[in-house]
Amino acid sequence: MTDESAAPMRPARDLQEHLARLEADGLVVRVDQPIDKDSELHPLVRWQFIGGMREDDRRAFLFTNVVDGSGRRYDMPVLVGALAASARIYAMGMARPVEQIGASWMQAIANPVPPVVVEHGVCQEVVITGDALRTPGGGLAALPVPVSTPGFDAAPYLTATLCITRDPETGVYNTGMYRAALKANDRLVVRMVARAGGAGGWVHWQKYRARKELMPIAIAIGAAPTVVFPSPQKLAIDLDEFAVAGALAGAPIEMVRCKTIDLLVPARAEIVIEGLIDPAILEPEAPFGESNGYVALEAFNMPMQVTAITHRRQAIFNSIISQVTPSESSVIKRVAYEPLFLAHLRDAQGVKGIRRVVMHEALTNLRPVIFLQFADGTQTSEVWRGLNGAAFFQAGCGKLVIAVSEDVDPSNLDAVLWSIAYRSNPIDDVQLQAHRGGVQGAQYGERRAESTMMIDATRKRAMPPVALPARQFMERARDIWNQLGLPAVTTPSPWHGYTLGDWSEDWTRFAERAVRGDWLENGLETLRRQRPGLEAETSVRKVEM
């Protein structure tokens, strides 16, 4: 969604309105045949992330005939990919062009709009409490929760979660997209990132543990995209995500009181699971395929005793593809993280020459590897200010930070490696910094601080042209290619030659003659310049200039 005229006037108020917009734009694949939620559903959608498809070709998937291995059929359809299968889908949820998303986030964070409380919400059209939660096949077992990583996961997991907690001291709400494993019809185990720089929900859990009090928690599933998008972001711990969501939505988020606990939840959510966490007790959780590319092994996390499940009468169960990236969970972060990092470097730190921030997505899940693009001629001191600024802006982000020049596309890993190989000298252009937080997944290994590597792979002097045909010749060749009906090609940078400062008018004249077929004239000219007594490979400039 790059055409501003294509953006709706306002963001969708709920998930079903957002789904209707996606369907109107041809961005939904409806699957009506029976699909096993435990062995087929997530693997099917995952192919669009690992199968070499262009990001813009990815779609949301709506499964209308969901079954499990025993043949049980579920009443609720399952929706996957509707939040962030692509930047285009994410932008539709924001009702803004992709290029305006970063500015929208900065404005929303600076100008939050507090939520409002309403008496009734469609999320409570059906209310299940008490013994009804524990009947065979009831409670959580009645929800079509997929297994995310068949063959490795120990349980179906809630993934597209809006885990809602409240600070017992300040009353500030926090939302987080934490995974939650089904353990019984009325019990989940929630994993909140328990480390410095980790989850706001974990901070609340620590406070409840110190007070020896049960922690109320609600898990909303299937809210409007603008309500969900703040949950996976690393916002300030005392910033109410619902207020940021209200700013993104352009109107206060309507909230309704839970039925069994003292919390407010989005009134237009599809499903809400209410419950209590006893912070004095932990329960083994996982294995579960994590977004760092490995299966997280068993660790003790927070059991949640379910006290109620409420939902719309015609609810849709929303799930996201996580685990090995690229995935929906990485896109939902990348689209917001990159402009936030750029704004931090350019505006907050005043780094001169910074052009782009690209967080590497495939397999690495964005945060460990960050690429910075600088304008040609940027002073080395500014490059290093940018490298340090990106490396230590957020805990867990920036284990490896690489700076490249403006002619190098930081989203093309091959081009970045080319720049490292030929524009950096490790002894001069690499720095190591100790004592930083670990990347995601480090909690399952040794409890020790990690380090950061920063590489200045920018161009530091004039260099010869890139050794590809000049642009006009590659464009002409591409026209011929298309006329011949050959397979479609892409144009990853660099796809044509260009100069990098080390070039002369004489060499331009030689090249023009060669294209015209007048190469003999070049030979006559160089014949007059023959010299005796030189070593082979002697630079012409050393002799003639």
**Mean pLDDT, to the nearest integer, of 428-453?**
75
Contact 49, 148 (CB under 8 A): no
Contact 129, 185 (CB under 8 A): no
- The CA–CA distances, whole Å, from 485 to 454, 495, 522 equal 45, 20, 37
Kindly report, residue by residue over 455-491, the tens digit of the pLDDT: 999 999 999 999 989 999 999 999 999 999 999 888 8
Reduced 3-state DSSP string for 239-305: CCHHHHHHHHHCCCCEEEECCCCCCEEECCCCEEEEEEECCCCCEEECCEECCCCCEECCEEEEEEE
Q: Which pLDDT does position 45 carry in this prediction? A: 96
Residue 52 has pLDDT above 90, yes or no: no
Q: Smallest Cα–Cα separation from 258: which of 140, 134, 159, 173?
A: 173
Kindly report, residue by residue over 146-173, the tens digit of the pLDDT: 999 999 999 999 999 999 999 999 999 9
Lowest mean pLDDT among 52-56, 313-317, 448-452: 448-452
| Look-up of token digits 């304008």 | 375
Kindly report, residue by residue over 105-144, the tens digit of the pLDDT: 999 999 999 999 999 999 999 999 999 999 999 999 999 9
Percent of the chain with pLDDT over 70: 95
Q: State the pLDDT confidence band at 448, using cuts at 50, 70 and 90.
A: low
| Interior angle at CA 470, CA 464 and CA 473, nearest 5 | 160
Q: Which pLDDT does position 290 carry in this prediction? A: 85
Tokens of 502: 């080390």
Percent of the chain with pLDDT over 90: 82
Residue 195 has pLDDT above 70, yes or no: no
Tell me which DSSP letter residue 438 carries. P
Q: State the pLDDT confidence band at 492, using cuts at 50, 70 and 90.
A: confident
Contact 245, 220 (CB under 8 A): no
Contact 90, 27 (CB under 8 A): no
Residue ranges and CATH numbers for the domains of the chain are 4-319 (2.30.110.10), 349-456 (3.40.1670.10)
Q: Which pLDDT does position 365 carry in this prediction? A: 85
Reduced 3-state DSSP string for 455-499: EECCCCCCECCCCCCEHHHHHHHHHHHHHCCCCCCCCCCCCCECC
Q: State the pLDDT confidence band at 198, using cuts at 50, 70 and 90.
A: low
Residue 413 burial by Cβ neighbours in a 10 Å radius (0-12, 13-18, 19+): middle
Average pLDDT, the chain: 92
Residue 65 has pLDDT above 90, yes or no: yes
Q: What is the DSSP string of 179-226?
A: EEEEEETTEEEEE---STT--HHHHHHHHHHHHT-PEEEEEEES--HH
At residue 344, the 3 state secondary structure works out as helix
Contact 149, 161 (CB under 8 A): no
Q: What is the DSSP string of 370-403?
A: EEEEE-TT--HHHHHHHHHHHHTSSTT--SEEEE
The top-scoring range by mean pLDDT among 226-240, 301-315, 357-371 is 301-315
181 forms beta bridges with 157, 189
Q: List phi, psi (to 5°) of 217.
A: -145, 140
Contacts of 368 (CB under 8 A, 6+ apart): 360, 397, 398, 399, 400, 439
pTM, two decimals, is 0.89
| Look-up of token digits 């040609």 | 376
Residue 6 has pLDDT above 80, yes or no: no
Kindly report, residue by residue over 298-353, the tens digit of the pLDDT: 999 999 999 999 999 999 999 999 888 889 989 999 998 999 999 999 999 999 99
Angle between helices 505-516 and 519-527 (to 10 degrees): 140
Contact 182, 273 (CB under 8 A): no
Residue 246 has pLDDT above 70, yes or no: yes
Q: Which pLDDT does position 438 carry in this prediction? A: 64
